[in-house]
Amino acid sequence: MGVLNLYKTVVIKGNYSTIGYGLGFSHPNRLAYGFVYLLFTYIAFVGKSFNKKDYICITFGLIVCYAITQSRTAILCVVSILLLVTLVKSRFLNKNIKRLVAFLGYVCPPLCVFISIGVPQLMLSSNHNLRILADLIDKLFSGRFKLISRTFKYYDMTLFGGVNSFDILDRIYKYSTVDNGYIRFLYAYGIVGLFVYIVLTLLTVNALSKHGNYLFVSLIIVTSFWGISENVLMSVGFNITVLFWSVLLRRTSTNEKMISTCSLS
């Protein structure tokens, strides 16, 4: 179709396969990332004034996204954030819900890291029962953790990363895709880089919660879980959490102004 490559791709969905289109992206999933990111950005932009028209717009966008990409993860992410938005805006048990959202905001990022690293490690465990448990969890994520366990076999975790491709896996298994944002981040930027990412995210959640921006916290929660099943954390173009780090810069700027005012007085 002109200069636009459709990237028509057979997408494996567990026990069946379907056709998805990348429309310029190398894989339909990457186009789905863009769709979800735009929908998340729309929700963040609308903010507290989110209404029925916005629900309709988001739903329409999601239908278009699925029709083109066949991404079930996109549906799960968008439905989850719409549910959280509805709960946050609801007057029923509003304070308790906001406390729950804040709590999840603190818990989810480190929990997702733990799951991303822990489940593949269990698959490599010598304990038979632990491997069975890990295999059951792996099936829920379409075999993603098995791919990570292979990565752990051939690539060491380092303090500062530097691994951006998995050629060894490609040579041995003829497949080197690692669909997990935390693991890709870990190998690219190391243990230190991932630790800094989590700390900045938690500080952001703290700042947003204090200002009552629970909708933004909800977006961070969903993005955190999204990172378990897709490589969406390394690019600002897919990871909306990084945009929310700006609240930390504003806090720093405010503190500097206060210090400057005090020194002048």
Task: Return the axis-axis angle of helices 214-229 and 181-210, rounded to nearest 10°.
Answer: 170
Number of domains forming the structure of the chain: 2
Calculate what percentage of the chain has a pLDDT beyond 70.
91
Are 255 and 176 members of one domain?
yes
Last residue of a domain, one of 67, 89, 111: 89
Q: How far is CA 207 from CA 52, 148, 212, in A?
A: 28, 33, 9
- Of 31, 58, 89, the residue at which a domain comes to its end is 89
Give the pLDDT of residue 92. 78
In whole angstroms, give the CA distance from residue 25 to residue 101.
Answer: 34
pTM comes to 0.88
pLDDT digits (tens, 9 = 90+) for 147-181: 999 999 999 999 999 998 899 999 999 888 899 99
Residue 17 or 134, more confident: 134
Tell me, yes or no, whether 59 and 159 share the same domain.
no
Report the C-alpha dihedral over residues 251, 255, 258, 262, rounded to 10 degrees: 170
The reply to whether 120 and 223 lie within a common domain is yes
pLDDT in tens, 218-237: 999 999 999 999 999 988 77
Among 45-59, 205-219, 248-262, which is the least confidently predicted range?
248-262
Residues 195 and 64 in one domain: no
Q: Say which residue, 236 or 262, is predicted with more confidence.
A: 236
Same domain, 81 and 128: no
Of 40, 73, 89, the last residue of a domain is 89
Give the model's confidence band at 253: pLDDT under 50 very low, under 70 low, under 90 confident, else very high: low
User: What is the rounded average pLDDT of the residues 211-218?
Assistant: 94
Please say if the pLDDT value at position 87 is more than 60: yes
Residues 129 and 62 in one domain: no
- Is residue 126 domain-shared with residue 210, that is, in the same domain? yes
Q: Does residue 191 register a pLDDT over 70?
A: yes
Domain hosting 83: range is 1-89
Instruction: Based on the fold, state whether residues 237 and 153 are members of the same structural domain.
Output: yes
Q: Are residues 133 and 226 in the same domain?
A: yes
Name which residue leads in pLDDT, 5 or 77: 77
Same domain, 63 and 117: no
Task: Say what the pLDDT of residue 134 is.
Answer: 93
Say if CB 182 and CB 226 are below 8 A apart: no
Same-domain status, 112 and 71: no
* 49 and 122 share one domain: no
Residue 262 — very low, low, confident or very high, per pLDDT cuts 50/70/90?
Answer: very low
Give the model's pLDDT for residue 251.
61
Share the mean pLDDT of the chain.
Answer: 88
pLDDT score at 121? 94
What would the mean pLDDT of 15-20 be, rounded to a whole number?
A: 78
